[in-house]
Amino acid sequence: MITTPHVDWFALSPTLALLAVAASALLAAVLVPGPLRKPVSATVTFAGFVGSFAAAAVLYAHSADAHGALTGSLMRDRWGALAQLILAGAGALAVLVSYGERTKEHVSEYYALLAAAGAGMIFLAQASSLLTIFLGVEWFSIALYILCAIDIDRASRLEAGLKYLITGSFGSAFLLFGSALVYGATGTLRLDLIGRAVADRGLSDDPLLVVGLAMMLVGLAFKMSVAPFHQWTPDVYQGAPTPISGFMGAATKAVAFVLTIRILQTAFAQDAHLWTVLLAVLAVASLVIGNLAALVQTDVKRILAYSSVSHAGFMLMAVAADSALGGRAVLYYLIPYSAMSIGAFAVVAARERELGHDVSADDLAGYGWERPVLGVALWIFMLGFAGFPLTGGFIGKFYAFSAAYRHGWLWLVIIGAAATAVSLWYYLGIVRQLFLRSSAGAAGSTGTPSAPPRDALLQIAVVACVAITVASFFAVQPLIDLAKHAAGSLPF
Amino acid sequence: MVAAAWICLLLPLAGALLITLLGNVLSRKAAGVLATSSVAGAFVAAAVAFVMMLGDGEHHRSHLSTGFTWLSAGSFQADFSILLDPLSMVMMLVITGVGSLIVLYSIGYMHGDNEERRFFGYMALFVFSMLMLVQGGNLLLLLVGWGLVGLSSYLLIGFWHEKPSAVAAAKKAFIINAIGDATFAIAVIVIIQQTHIVGFDALSALNPDNHGVLNLVALGLLGGAVAKSAQLPLHTWLPDAMEGPTPVSALIHAATMVTAGVYLIARCHTVFESAHQVQNIAAGIGALTIVAAGAIALVQTDIKRVIAYSTMSQIGYMFVGVGVGAYASSMFHLMTHAFFKALLFMGAGIVIHALSGEQDIRQMGGLRKLMPRTYVMMLIASLALIGFPLTSGFFSKDAILAGALASGPYGAALWVLGMIGALLTGVYTSRLFLTVFHGAPGDLVLRQLGPDAHGQGATDGGHGHGEGPRTMLIPVAILTVLALGGGFIQVFDWWTGMQTWLESVVPSLHEPTGWQEAISSIGATLLGLVGVTLGWTVYGSRKDTAPKPSRSLEHKLYFDELYDRIAYAPAAFIARFVTRVVEEPLVIGSGDLVGHVTRGAGEKARLLQNGLVRSYALLIALSFAVMGIVFLAVR
């Protein structure tokens, strides 16, 4: 006899909203006549993300005390709810950015998959048992594999999808194997019970447990694009449809970090002496490899991909600090970072649509003069990535460095600061292309006669991203308060 | 008073925003007028605040005004606030005063440029950033202003974006400054974590017994100051920054931004006094820079680069001053230097303007008769630079040297270097002045300005002998007066205007005695004059008889080459290595491979690709193996 557990439908509402939307968008592929298909499915998906955002906001307001939902395999807390807000916002922006690009078939499927990926991530933000974690990871990953390869007539898309699938499965296998070992060592799937079992039974040096932890960290590091598990990142970001690259850069990273912190703090607090050092080492690896490899790239999407690797390093510094301050720093940083990531890829997408091929740094020559709004926006995103004042990136880096310093890791702060200085080199390289060179210099690469008209929705999304990037600098207080309450629901 | 200070801060920002937002609605001329009036308005506001501050009691002149609370977490609170005290007051007056003159001058200088509006927008943005830096009420805002001046300097150096050299110089300046920003930021983080306050009172709240932390903080701050003020060894960006328009060099790279490092050390003097080894290092760096930059200036041939090295050398004096605790003297020199160095740059600008952009002093010569007004004011600026008695530079430089002598044996060693610097200053200044204005006019000069020239260089203004329109000459005239008489606000210890003014904020550490003042003044003046005589004998008669300069000086003491070797080359090597060994498969995979596949040359490529994914998996597995073994070993 199986008893039905009590289901907290309210806690599930952000996920359910998107699931419903995914189903509707898929139905639209069949039921809605051709010309209307795109506007309908895009509108529905956008509404789904907005609805999910609203639901997450209400959930945040009504989850002051963290408690389990669905017999503890999901947590209803502010940590998850704030992550859901970031994810839903990223999804809504991605819908806007995608609109102008989807011209051929598979329009409804595209939006359905985007909603499904969003639903998986939003589910994962709350997941608190090894089972739901694996479910959530696979759920959004599979949707993303297909999204990467959705334009099956383009070899680069197919290649990206395939590579993502193979390496991603490999990463997931590690996560699953690790989960099995941890389950074997502790006899439970729930994160909080694992943590208690480790503490009560003194399992923190159990060989099964530590190897399981290492394997789970490999799987998570893969999703966070932390070096040396990052190699899929430039490939996939370059090959995937550009709005999807932006969405992955923002949302995959956000959910992976939120989940990692939840797992480490809830289940493996006793093993902090192991994973703090490991994460600090991985942070250094990401900073070094991400920044140096970005220096020699020519394709803008690859540069942004390596920038994403280096940002994984900055955020890992805060995770490795193993403190509520670090948790706050990551949650705060994810807000402007997501906006900058989606915005930067959106500008690249706009240029790509005008040119009809991949965008190299040279292809941006003089673009700032042709499209001032997009040019200035990309410029702001680059400065934000570099951690410059007047953007949220400044506060985010400052917070992450503070967390590492308070942990006593001055050396890590110094490496981070040096990495910031190096990163300016390639960020400025892009800015230089945008503005500080006349477009006449790059022969034949600009002024394509068939340049499509300005894409209003994409511009709205970019302007929104700029607004978030800049506003997060001035309105630090409310955002930090949100992050503080969210971090309060984890047992730091 | 506080309201005036806010107006002073926000007016240039409003100017910058208006110029940006109005765009083409604004005529080019109007953009210049708007920028000038916003900065001039800021000066008026600063002057009003100054007069009101004079009315305050000597120890009640510090005002902190909070705009809004930026961030508060527990006991920690960071406000968006401005600090108005005698120290920031001096900086505000210099920035807005000299700034408005230079922006006014730019209207004439930039006339006819394609993108004047953008230029004036940037200039107003710079003045705002600089005011933010000096008025920022806490360390975070100081850091914000610090970054913003770097940004606006970057924008202005690279203003002529068609010139690859200008773009490269802008990037170099930004990146070297970013190194300083990074060390500064680390210092701020350490201060906040140690004291949990972000205001300037945190500086004195640091535990005086914790030498490790104090030294770390002081070194971090010093790193920021050295990069921003172009001192050894982070100076290489400043000469290259001369690629920017000349008013930019005058405003940012002579009068204001490059002196921010001096301001920073004066502002944070309590930390440096507690970590006095670091303060000694600051003074030592300054003294070395005086001599090294002075020596390099001897052999440069670009008129603006000579002045740039001279700027480094003069800021070296200010570093010596703050390094030995003669804060007021340093701020005094900062102010007079802003006058005469801005004047030198503006004069150089007029010369360059008249010669249609020529900057090589070997092409000049004999300009005395052709540009008499420029001649007179360059003469005055040069005399002030040398420290000729009763000019502004005389009083301020000598005050620093006397302070160094008063501070003990280490200070005496610095004093000797400062004296050598005075000699070098005399030589390079007379060389510059004589080669440009005396001797026989070169071909170029005759072509541009000679009797049968068709006014090619003089078309812009049509005034005088091609010396520019009135908007250029009026600010130059005002600065000439200031360079000549600006030193009289502090005359030895008979009348100590600056000293008294700053006493409540940054009290000086040592009081030089009368004979120290005397020996410094007489010595520096004599050596300066010896330098001039040397310069006169070598460069006065004919320029081609000048001795051949040493190679190492021509190579600017090989600093650029050194950085190329120790920083750029290894980074590029590692980047290439990382790419080839770790990342190359990906490049092949995504670039060439796509081509291969689509062109149908499949088989070999596909093998490669499989190998690629396999190599990713291999790396993941190996990394895991290492992690697992380490975890098992240390658990």
Quick one: tokens of A238? 């370059």
Q: Is residue B123 part of a domain?
A: yes
pLDDT: is B76 or A390 the higher one? A390
Residue percentage of chain B with pLDDT more than 70: 85
DSSP E strands in A262-338: the ranges are none
Residue A105 pLDDT more than 80? no
pLDDT digits (tens, 9 = 90+) for B135-148: 888 888 888 889 88
Nearest-neighbour CA in chain A from B24: distance (Å): 13
Comparing CB atoms, the residue among A231, A389, A421 nearest residue B182 is: A421
**Dihedral over Cα of B26, B28, B31, B33: its sign:** negative
Q: Which pLDDT value is given to residue B548? A: 58
Whether residue A191 is contained in a domain is answered as yes
What is the C-alpha radius of gyration for chain B, rounded to an integer number of angstroms? 27
ipTM at complex level: 0.84
In a domain? residue B566: no
Query: Quick check: helix, strand or coil at residue A425?
Result: helix
Residues B395, B400, B402: CA angle, nearest 5 degrees: 90
Closest approach of A309 to chain B, Cα-based (Å) = 13
CA distance A265 to A192: 9
**Among the partner residues A228, A239, A398, nearest to B623 by beta-carbon distance:** A228
| Contacts with A421 from chain B: Cβ below 8 Å | 175, 178-179, 181-182
Q: For residue B460, is pLDDT > 50? A: no
pLDDT for the residue B492: 61
Does residue B79 sit within a domain?
yes
- The pLDDT mean for chain B works out to 80
B162 interaction partners in chain A (CB closer than 8 Å): 437-438
Measured in degrees and rounded to the nearest 5, phi and psi for residue B79 equal -110, 160
First to last CA, chain A: 39
Per-residue pLDDT reduced to its tens digit, A173-182: 999 999 999 9
Q: Does A166 touch chain B (CB under 8 A)?
A: yes
Domain boundary (B550, B569, B599) is at: B550
In chain B, residues with a C-beta closer than 8 Å to the C-beta of A292 are 571, 574-575, 578
Q: Given this model, what pLDDT does residue B597 score?
A: 43
> What length is written for chain B?
635
Write down the pLDDT at residue B552: 67
Instruction: Tell me how far apart the alpha carbons of residues B342 and B253 are, in angstroms, rounded to a whole number.
Output: 9
CA distance B620 to chain A (A): 6
| CB nearest B594 (choices: A159, A295, A476) | A159
CA–CA separation, B327 vs B405, rounded Å? 14
Range among A144-158, B214-228, B431-445, B574-588 rated most confident: B214-228
Instruction: List chain A residues with CB under 8 Å of B579.
Output: 293, 296
**Beta strand pairing status for B76-84 and A74-76?**
unpaired
- CA–CA distance from B430 to each of A229, B425, B427 (Å)? 62, 8, 5
3 state SS of A231: coil
Report the number of distinct structural domains present in chain B: 2
Give the residue ranges of DSSP H helices in A32-77. 34-61
In this model, does residue A446 exceed pLDDT 50? no
pLDDT of residue B546: 52
Percent of the residues in chain A that have a pLDDT greater than 70, as a whole number: 96
Distance (Å, rounded) from C-alpha A347 to C-alpha B382? 51
Residue B421 has pLDDT above 60, yes or no: yes
Whether residue A304 lies inside any domain: the answer is yes
Residues B453 and B600 in one domain: no
Q: Which residues of B are less than 8 Å from A218 in CB distance?
A: 620, 623-624, 627
> Does the residue A6 lie in any domain?
no
* Residue of A428, A36, A486 whose CA lies nearest to A261: A486
Q: Nearest to residue B582, comparing CAs of A492, A296, A9? A: A296
- Same domain for B467 and B604: no
> Does the residue A492 lie in any domain?
no
Structure tokens at B465: 């002998």
Instruction: Report the C-alpha gap between A167 and A170 in whole angstroms.
Output: 5
pLDDT confidence band for B589 (50 / 70 / 90): very low
Q: Smallest Cβ distance to A234: which of B71, B143, B586?
A: B586
Q: Are residues B540 and B593 in the same domain?
A: no
pLDDT band with cut points at 50, 70 and 90 for residue A117 = very high
Closest residue in chain A to residue B167, using alpha carbons only = A436
B368 vs B230, residue with greater confidence: B230
**Domain for residue B266, yes or no?**
yes
Residue with tokens 């990163």: A423
| Matching residue, tokens 């302070």 | B403
Q: Are residues B134 and B213 in the same domain?
A: yes
Q: Which helix (H) or strand (E) holds B82?
A: strand B76-84
Sign of CA dihedral A402, A408, A409, A414: positive
Q: What distance lies between CA A181 and its chain's CA centroid?
A: 27
**B424 and B350 share one domain:** yes
Contacts of A362 (CB under 8 A, 6+ apart): A298, A433, A442, A445
pLDDT reported for residue B277: 87
In a domain, A158, yes or no: yes
Measure CB to CB from residue A296 to each of B181, B189, B575 and give the nearest one. Answer: B575
Query: Region B23-36: what's the mean pLDDT?
Result: 80
Asked whether the predicted pLDDT for residue B114 surpasses 80, the reply is no
Surface-to-core class of residue B622, CB atoms within 10 Å of its CB (0-12 exposed, 13-18 middle, 19+ buried) = exposed
Neighbours of A454 (CB within 10 A): 12
Q: What angle do CA B200, B204, B209 make, to 5 degrees?
A: 145
Partner-chain contact A405 B190, CB within 8 Å: yes
For residue A14, the model assigns a pLDDT of 92
Clarify whether residues B138 and B259 are in a common domain: yes
**Residues 419-458, chain A, touching B (beta carbon < 8 A):** 420-422, 424-425, 428-429, 432, 435-438
- Chain A, nearest residue to B573 by Cα: A292
Q: Is residue A291 part of a domain?
A: yes
Q: Which residue has the higher pLDDT, B278 or B568?
A: B278
Residue B459 has pLDDT above 70, yes or no: no
Measured CA to CA, the distance from residue B408 to residue B361 in angstroms comes to 42
Distance from C-alpha of B520 to C-alpha of B526, rounded to nearest angstrom: 10
The pLDDT score that the predictor gives to residue A107 is: 84
> A218 CB near a chain B CB, below 8 Å?
yes
Three-point CA angle A118, A122, A126, nearest 5°:
165
3-state DSSP helix/strand/coil % of chain B, to nearest 5: 75, 5, 20
Least confident of A435-444, B494-503, B625-634: A435-444
Interface size, chain A vs chain B, as Cβ–Cβ contacts under 8 Å:
176
Contact A292 B598 (CB under 8 A): no
Domain count of the fold of chain A? 1
Instruction: Place B171 in a pLDDT band, splitting at 50, 70 and 90.
Output: confident
Among the ranges A47-61, B486-500, B527-541, which has the highest mean pLDDT value? A47-61
Shortest Cα–Cα distance, A215 to chain B (Å): 7
Whether the predicted pLDDT of A6 surpasses 60: yes
Instruction: Tell me the per-residue pLDDT of B38-84, one tens digit each, with 9 for 90 and over.
Output: 888 899 988 888 888 888 777 777 888 887 877 777 677 888 888 88
| Average pLDDT of chain A, as a whole number | 87
Query: B493 and B606, same structural domain?
Result: no
Distance CA B294, CA A25 (A): 73
For residue A239, what are its two tokens?
């090959």
Least confident of A75-89, A108-122, A338-352, B575-589: B575-589
Give residue A368's domain range: 13-487
Query: CB distance from A411 to chain B under 8 Å?
Result: no
The Cα–Cα gap between B90 and A374 comes to 40
Chain B residue closest in CA terms to A395: B140
**Ranges of H-type helices in A127-270:** 130-148, 155-186, 191-201, 207-224, 232-239, 242-247, 253-267
Domain region containing B309: 2-550
CA B510 to mean position of chain CA atoms: 27
Instruction: Identify the residue among A157, A436, A472 best suited for mutation to test binding to B, counting B beta carbons within 10 A and taking the highest.
Output: A436
A3 found inside a domain? no
> Is the same domain home to B502 and B604?
no
Percent of chain A with pLDDT over 90: 41
B330 & B437 share domain: yes
- Contact across the interface for A292 and B575, Cβ inside 8 Å: yes
Mean per-residue pLDDT, B559-580? 70
Give the residue on B whose Cα is nearest the Cα of A390: B144
DSSP conformational letter for B27: -
| pLDDT digit string, tens, across residues B483-520 | 887 777 776 666 677 777 777 778 887 787 778 888 88
The residue among B550, B571, B591 that closes a domain is B550
Q: What single DSSP character describes residue B80?
A: E
| Residue in this structure with the two tokens 């001599």, named with its chain if needed | B291
DSSP string, A299-312: BHHHHHHHHHHHHH
pLDDT at residue B31, rounded to an integer: 82
On whether residue B72 sits in a domain, the answer given is: yes
Cβ(B311)–Cβ(B338) under 8 Å?
Answer: no
Strands B490-491 and A74-76: what pairing?
unpaired
Check pLDDT > 90 for residue A313.
yes
Answer with the one of B535, B550, B565 that is the final residue of a domain: B550
Q: What is the pLDDT of residue A260?
A: 94
Judging contacts by C-beta atoms under 8 Å, the chain B residues touching residue A388 are 147, 151
Q: Kind of pairing, strands B495-496 and B490-491? A: antiparallel
pLDDT at B118 over 70: yes
CB A334 within 8 A of CB A253: yes
| Interface residue of B189, B580, B612 to substitute, partner A, most A CBs within 10 Å | B189
Q: What is the mean pLDDT of residues B21-49?
A: 84
Model confidence band, residue A332 (pLDDT cutoffs 50, 70, 90): very high
Q: Rounded to an integer, what distance in angstroms lies between the CA atom of residue B463 and that of residue B371?
A: 11
Mutation target vs A (from B191, B568, B635; most A CBs, 10 A cutoff): B635
In this structure, what DSSP letter does residue B360 have? B
Burial of B96 (0-12, 13-18, 19+ CB in 10 A): buried
Residue A437 pLDDT > 60: no
* Subunit contact A278:B632, Cβ cutoff 8 A: no
Confidence of residue B116 (pLDDT cuts 50, 70, 90): confident
Q: Is there a single domain that holds both residue B472 and residue B609?
A: no
Could B616 and A232 be called an inter-chain contact, meaning their C-beta atoms sit closer than 8 Å? yes
- Is the model more confident about A221 or about A422? A221
The pair of structure tokens assigned to A288 is 């070094």
Tell me, what's the pLDDT at A134?
94
Q: Chain B interface, mutation test: which of A292, A367, A391, A481, most B Cβ atoms within 10 Å? A: A292
Q: Which residues of A touch B170 (CB under 8 A)?
A: 436
Q: Does B186 contact A292 at a Cβ distance shorter than 8 Å?
A: no
Q: What is the mean pLDDT of residues B446-462?
A: 51
Answer whether residue A348 shows pLDDT above 70: yes
Nearest to B161 among A214, A428, A435 (CB): A435
- Residue B598 pLDDT level (bands cut at 50, 70, 90): very low
